[in-house]
Structure 1
């Protein structure tokens, strides 16, 4: 029997392709926390947070010039790009980096950031006009509840300062993801993140130079590799399939693929860093992973 045809079949196919692309972005992002920890072995946390955007901005400028495109987007879109920049260029790296610096483990941080899909879905409703079904919201709420219980339990019954910083990180990312995906409906994803990074250079370049001159730097292979990863992959290459996937599959729906990120990050934390975590961490990650199947069965 022939597969679905017509607008409905095309829409379903686009959603599936969008989900696959979004997952490729999640796979790239899942290594961000371990790479940040490695980078901070040799670089100041603020230098890692801002310097990664400078590295990504240089790569973005080279890509735009190679494609013979202007280095600046239309002026009318500058407010949107400023919003993306505030979220993913400055907000998420600074908040998450400080949380890790203040003692949050990679595994704990990964599970807390599992709330990000729910936050992204909320901003998709507010900013992008998406309207998921009630089943979708029920699955989001279940995942959010599981992570909240996990976080409070590990914090001895209350939220810690690193937890609050991680909440700031996930809200920042949700804003940047939603606005970037909204622009990707009319512009290739790589251009959206490229313009965002290039517009941020007047801030990231002098701040990085000042931090490099005033903070202690200890070069090592792991620190340099970690810095290169968060700059080239977490801050640039990962956003190319991620924004395209959100635009194709729906910001709220395709964004739920990020519920797999905690489990992926746990794998990296264990295999690359030898980090140990208890059964409650695995249970918290598995609980939100179950929500992926539910959200992906729902339709906008």
Structure 2
């Protein structure tokens, strides 16, 4: 009965959103151009959702304290994810997948949001964007160690060049000054890359929405008491921006964006999908102008061209 159930599960994943393990290697799928293009499109949707995270967090901080904002967003996202898991009757994750889900919960659900929110109290969104500028390279490095990915030299050269371009641009926007927020941003970079790597690995054997869904549910035992303590010690001032920011980081960034992201990584491989995030800091800066009224310098389009060239090279490079 167990063998029959496993076979049915594999067929379901193959016909549905993802290919099973045998259809995808650590560097990308074994399928055709259609699968690769569809996976790239899903990863790109995740990047668009993530690009709104920092501006939405700034809005959220207008009405909530940093600890309250992170705790409440985690609980709301977990309730949304848990409802989807119940309605769709998703099976419980296998015991062997629990450590990986715990890494996703610690890095993506709690660690990255908390550290970046603490940083954004004193840092601009432009400066904080250096995190997501360096995240693709860090994720590719961790995936090479964790899942045996071996991208080509051209891939690494383009990835390093793109990360360097984004880093120089975002640091220049902040005047090159190093602040206490940099410690939070560096920590956020590491924990998020670990969560992305584990999530991308798990999304090869279960649908991406279940990966982030179960990770969110696993975070509830910590998120619920943290919410109670934070709300008791931090003042809450409900404003339009505050509520809108909270709802977006909970539903858009914490759940829906990660669903698309993990599905994309499963389809095209962790290293190649991660390079799409090179465009995220620039998208964040655009949203910062439109939503926060920040000024965009003439260096932005020049950096955008350099980043797009790097993305094109990484998408064509083979492991």
Same fold (TM over 0.5): yes
Instruction: Please identify, of 175-184 and 287-296, the stretch whose mean Cα deviation from structure 2 is larger.
Output: 287-296
Deviation at 1:155, TM superposition (A): 5.7
1:125-144 alignment, distance < 5 Å: 125-144=144-163
1:13 maps to 34
Pick closer, same or farther for the CA change 1:25–1:137 going to 2, 3 Å: same
Give, in whole Å, the separation in 2 of the partners of 1:106 and 1:160: 14
Asked whether 1:267 is paired with 2:289, we answer no
Stretches of structure 2 lacking an aligned partner (at least 5 in a row): 1-22, 24-28
Residue 47 (structure 1) aligns with: 68
Indicate whether 1:79 and 2:99 are aligned: yes
Match of 1:88 among 108, 112, 115: 108
Which residue of 132, 136, 139 corresponds with 1:113? 132
Equivalent position of 1:64 in the other structure: 85
TM superposition shift of 1:96 = 0.7
Q: Distance in 1 between matches of 2:158 and 2:178?
A: 23
TM-score normalised over the length of structure 2: 0.86
TM-score, reference length from structure 1: 0.91
Once the two structures are superposed, residues 69-111 of structure 1 have per-residue CA deviations (whole angstroms, 9 ceiling, x without a partner) of 35x5222221111111111011110111111112x11122224
Whole-angstrom CA distance in 2 between matches of 1:158 and 1:110: 14
Equivalence for 2:5? none
Residues 40, 155 of structure 1: CA spacing in aligned structure 2 closer, same or farther, 3 A cutoff?
A: closer
CA shift for structure 1 position 295: 0.8
Partner of 1:181: 200
User: Structure 1: how far apart are the matches of 2:273 and 2:216?
Assistant: 24
Output the CA distance in 1 between the equivalents of 2:154 and 2:117.
34
Residue 142 (structure 1) shift: 0.8
> Match of 2:317?
298
Structure 1 partner of 2:46 = 25
Q: 1:260 deviation in Å? A: 1.2
> Which of 245, 267, 283 in structure 1 is aligned with 2:264?
245
Q: What RMSD in Å do the two structures reach over aligned CA positions?
A: 2.0
* More divergent stretch after superposition (263-272 vs 8-17): 8-17
* Aligned position for 2:56: 35
Contact 1:85 1:176 in 2 (8 A): yes
Stretches of structure 1 that go unaligned for 5 or more consecutive residues are 1-6
Shift of 1:146: 2.3
2:26 is aligned to none
* Deviation for aligned residue 1:33: 0.4
CA distance in structure 2 between the partners assigned to 1:263 and 1:144 by the alignment = 12
CA deviation after TM superposition for structure 1 residue 39, in Å: 0.2
Matches within 5 A, 1:154-169: 159-169=178-188
Residue-pair matches, total: 292
SS of 2:221's equivalent in the other structure is helix
1:189-209 deviations in Å (ceiling 9; x for gaps): 111101000011000011111
Note if contact 2:139-2:196 (Cα within 8 Å) is conserved in structure 1: yes
C-alpha distance in structure 1 between counterparts of 2:285 and 2:95, whole Å: 41
Q: Decide which moves more: 51-60 or 290-299.
A: 290-299
